[in-house]
Amino acid sequence: MPRFKNRTHILSAIIDAFIKPPDTTTYPFTPIELPHGFRGTVIMIDPEKCTGCSICIRDCPANALEIQRESRERYRLIHYPSRCAYCGQCEESCKNRAISQTNQTVKPTADPDSFIVVFKDTLGEDKPKFS
Amino acid sequence: MIMEKITIPIGPQHPLLKEPLSLRISVSGERVLGGELRLGYVHRGIEKLAVSRNYTQNVHLIERICGICSHVHTTAFCTAVERLLNLEVPARAHYIRALLCELERIHSHLLWAGILSKHIGLDTIFMHTWHDRELVLDIMEELSGGRVSHAVNKIGGVRIDLDIGHAELIKKNISKLHDEVEKLLEIIMHDSTIKARTQGVAIITPEEVKQYGIVGPIARASGVAVDFRSDDPLPPYDRLNFKIITQPEGDAWARTVVRIQEVHESMKLCEQILKVIPDGPVEVRARRSVPTGRVIVRAEAPRGELFYYLRSDGTNQPARLKIRTPSLPVLEILTKKLSEIQVADIPVVLAGVDLCIACADR
Amino acid sequence: MILQTLSFILVFPGLLFQVMCGWAFEWLDRKLLARFQRRIGPPWYQPLADWIKLISKEDILTHGSNAFILAALPIISLASVLTAGIYVPVAQFNRFGFEGDLFVILFLLSVPTLAYYLAGIASIGIYSILGGSRSLLQYFSYEVPFLLALSGPAILAESWSIQDIIASQVDMGPFSLFQPLGFLLAIVGLIGKLKRDPLDIPSAKSEIVAGPLTEFSGIKLAFWRLTMNIQAVVGIFLIINLFLSWSFLPSLIISSLIFFVECILLTVILSMASAIFARLRIDQVAGLGWRILVPLASLQLIAVVLMGI
């Protein structure tokens, strides 16, 4: 048989909650601010620094980076945002600090399989082939 | 009322479960006769996947075993690899790891408190508890960049650092959290409904704890004082003071009390860590290939003891990784405990033992 | 003449008015609950949007259940609450009252409960059957005190017609002042009838998913939800008429305003009760009903009879 005398705690909590503004936001219609260190999209901030050493590819847990190589200088580094886990390991592993992670969210896409981003391309072919 | 034996499926999809689990409970009237349990719905083969990836990739794989206790899994794994490599990780890294472990403990227990209240019918406490949990998640997002997957650990230390701005923000948020959580925990501790519905339900005796190998808050609620933060401490727990909280009764209310008081302890630990954290580097370079050896590491996850066994063979991929998570023995005793309760107590028992099926299935 | 009757049945106080009031009640209830829980809550058109979405969904029948019964039950429930709504006075509009209409309204308001139980049994799923049996047990626990509490005003006014009860309140003042216990018991009975928290064990989400309505979808579920909302509105109107009628005579506008404010007040009370209390177990419901509510209701009834002498 529930007793009613401890209801005053919850009663004061709900009246307090009613007076204060709500905590939820109507997200797409009001902008939110992401913190500075938020792990968002991965970009290549400086393609000149990339030497094609492939450490990032070896360390990526999700196989989201791939290199198509013809020789030491001619290669193409592509990134699959739909496979990416946004862990930041590539930024951590890159010795030359060529890859970096921003704090922007990824734009959604209706076709994740064909969503690729070319980071550095010295191959010179017209279309990237991907597996 | 129907008095013959019927089977209620708490099936893979059910509002009571956070993760899929198949439980077929046979009841007669309002008495539960027993249950059949099937696991494996969230099995992803983590241990097999770990063998074909190198250690750096494995840190991120291990993080995704469980969403609630992700940090402590990676802490245990990184500690195991560091022991095999004989690496001396700087003290500041240990303190940052411990800070996140305690924050994770707070948010896991607040999540559990909300789920228990929701299944008893007190939706309001569920919403308020999860609002306070948002404060913890905000702190973790400021620190590490993600609310659920932190990606803070690496082999050789941590990837983030607490600079002055961070420390002030965390201190401010933790004291705000302290005030709000105090009020909330007062409500839960003195709420006569939660107490009335959980007292005397599904008592687990200390003999059963030893027989089934149960760990964590459930064991502590039966009077068995087992806590790996003091039994086999990872640094820096050997230098911090905290209490181990036990209750003698072993019923669902004792489990509630233990977890709520652990939230208090964890908040005090967070403040202590922020006070005594030493300066210094936060990481140390680690070799990629690990010499042959085997190591066992135990850590205290929010739900109990995490046990990691790692065997390496000189390459940069592990030879065998074995993980034993704290929710497994609870699942074994659950079907036995279910045959002692009424139908109305099923949500109390299932929500009260705080299962993490993703951890259990790996 | 026919046009006038049709407009009474279809517009006011019939179908359109009650449906609008039902949706307004649902919106207010959800919004209040949300604000108590620190959320924003749904916008004003949410119940309408839910209804439109539901009627466009597929209708699924479980294997072995009787399609005719499952289709007839929501229609019968909706029809009975709408009919009850026509006879309940709204502000000063009371064109259809007759002697004994209190009985008819209470009977019509009980039809959805029986239909709810039958829907649970006829759906054959395990969750539905459990929910149905629980709902019948709960019905026996709250209905007796509810009826006893509602008979208090009738005895005090010495008539079973709502019109006379209102008239007698205009003379003596609102009956909630004379029988506060009866007022409280009527609200508790209404919570039980509407199967809201804390008395929502028949549809306890944690144990039996959605109780008797688990297997319903599509337009049948839309009708069930509409029935629940209109039942709430009719119940609130009934309680206001029996316990909270002030002297309604001054002017139409003022009496409508007072009526409207009282409706909102009762909705706030119901929402707060939902937010504060936890769900009672079925044995606690039966204990509450028979050990506490029935003796209190009988006490109130004895007091009323003595007062009337």
What is the count of residue pairs from B and C with beta carbons less than 8 Å apart? 65
Q: Which residues face B323 on adjacent strands?
A: B308
The answer on pLDDT for C95 being more than 80 is no
Distance from CA of A59 to the nearest CA of B (A): 6
Least confident piece of the model among A64-68, B49-53, B61-65, C78-82: A64-68
Q: What is the DSSP string of chain C?
A: -HHHHHHHHHTSSSHHHHHHHHHHHHHHHHHHHHHHTT-----TTHHHHHHHHHHTSPP---TT--HHHHHHHHHHHHHHHHHHHHHS-BTTB--S--TTHHHHHHHHHHHHHHHHHHHHHHT--HHHHHHHHHHHHHHHHHHHHHHHHHHHHHHHHT-S-HHHHHHHHHHH--HHHH-HHHHHHHHHHHHHHHT-TTS-GGG-HHHHTTGGGTT--THHHHHHHHHHHHHHHHHHHHHHHHH------S-HHHHHHHHHHHHHHHHHHHHHHHHHPPPPPHHHHHHIIIIIIHHHHHHHHHHHHHHH-
- What mean pLDDT, rounded, does chain C reach? 85
Contact A11 C276 (CB under 8 A): yes
Q: Does B186 touch chain A (CB under 8 A)?
A: yes
| Interatomic CA distance for residues B281 and B108, integer angstroms | 29
The answer on pLDDT for B1 being more than 50 is no
Cα separations in angstroms, C134 against B1, B355, C141, C232: 8, 28, 11, 20
In a domain, A37, yes or no: yes
* Angle C35-C41-C47 from CA coordinates, rounded to 5°: 130
Contact B347 C206 (CB under 8 A): yes
Question: How many domains, in total, are found in chain A?
Answer: 1
| Interatomic CA distance for residues B123 and C275, integer angstroms | 7
In a domain, A73, yes or no: yes
Distance from CA of C127 to the nearest CA of A (A): 26
Query: Which among C199, C227, C212, C230 has a CA at the least distance from the CA of C85?
Result: C230
B160-177 tens-digit pLDDT: 888 777 778 778 888 888
In a domain, A52, yes or no: yes
Environment class of residue C61 by beta-carbon count within 10 Å: exposed (0-12), middle (13-18) or buried (19+)? middle
In a domain, A15, yes or no: no
| Amino acid at residue number B263 | V
Least confident piece of the model among B31-40, B45-54, B298-307, B338-347: B338-347
| Interatomic CA distance for residues C118 and C70, integer angstroms | 9
CATH number at residue A35: 3.30.70.3270
User: Which residues span the domain enclosing C63?
Assistant: 14-308
Q: Does C277 touch chain B (CB under 8 A)?
A: yes
Contact A18 C277 (CB under 8 A): no
User: Which residues span the domain enclosing A89?
Assistant: 30-121
The residue among B14, B190, B194, B341 with the most chain C CBs within 10 A of its CB, best to mutate, is B14
| Interatomic CA distance for residues C309 and C303, integer angstroms | 10
Name the 3-class secondary structure at B93.
helix
In a domain, C5, yes or no: no
H/E/C letters for each residue in B138-200? Answer: HHHHHHHCCCCCCCCEECCEECCCCCHHHHHHHHHHHHHHHHHHHHHHHHHHHCHHHHHHHCC
Report the pLDDT averaged over residues B126-151: 86
Name the 3-class secondary structure at B325.
coil
A62-101 tens-digit pLDDT: 888 888 888 777 788 888 888 888 888 888 888 888 888 8
Per domain, the residue ranges of chain B are 5-361
B339-353 tens-digit pLDDT: 778 877 888 888 888
In a domain, A46, yes or no: yes
Give residues 23 to 62 of B whose Cβ lies within 8 Å of A: 53-54, 56-61
In a domain, A23, yes or no: no
| CATH number, domain B5-361, options 3.40.50.620, 3.40.50.720, 3.40.640.10, 1.10.645.10 | 1.10.645.10
In a domain, C219, yes or no: yes
Q: Partners for B (CB, 8 Å, 3+ pairs)?
A: A, C
Question: How many domains, in total, are found in chain C?
Answer: 1
Contact C39 A14 (CB under 8 A): no
Q: Provide the Cα torsion C260, C263, C265, C271; round to 10°.
A: -140
Place of tokens 């705080």: B354
The answer on pLDDT for A129 being more than 60 is no
Give residues 181 to 240 of B whose Cβ lies within 8 Å of C: 191, 193-194, 197
The answer on pLDDT for A108 being more than 70 is yes
Q: Does C200 touch chain B (CB under 8 A)?
A: yes
Chain B residue with CA closest to C200: the answer is B121
More confident residue, C182 or A47: C182
| Interatomic CA distance for residues B324 and C124, integer angstroms | 42
Q: Going edge to edge, which strands form the sheet with A75-79?
A: A65-69, A75-79, A117-121
Distance from CA of C207 to the nearest CA of A (A): 20
Query: Which among B182, B248, B163, B240 has a CA at the least distance from the CA of B209?
Result: B248
Distance from CA of C231 to the nearest CA of B (A): 23
Distance from CA of B35 to the nearest CA of C (A): 15
What global pTM score does this model have? 0.87
Give residues 150 to 209 of C whose Cβ lies within 8 Å of A: 198
| Interatomic CA distance for residues B221 and B216, integer angstroms | 9
Q: Closest to A61 (Cβ–Cβ): which among B53, B128, B191? A: B53
More confident residue, C208 or C297: C297
Distance from CA of C204 to the nearest CA of B (A): 8
Distance from CA of C35 to the nearest CA of A (A): 5
In a domain, C249, yes or no: yes
pLDDT category of residue C232 using cuts at 50, 70 and 90: very high
Q: Closest to C36 (Cβ–Cβ): which among A18, A24, A26? A: A18
The answer on pLDDT for C77 being more than 90 is yes
Q: Closest to C209 (Cβ–Cβ): which among B15, B193, B346? A: B15
pLDDT at A123: 65
Q: Partners for A (CB, 8 Å, 3+ pairs)?
A: B, C
pLDDT at A2: 45
In a domain, C1, yes or no: no
Contact B151 A88 (CB under 8 A): yes
Q: Does B3 touch chain C (CB under 8 A)?
A: no
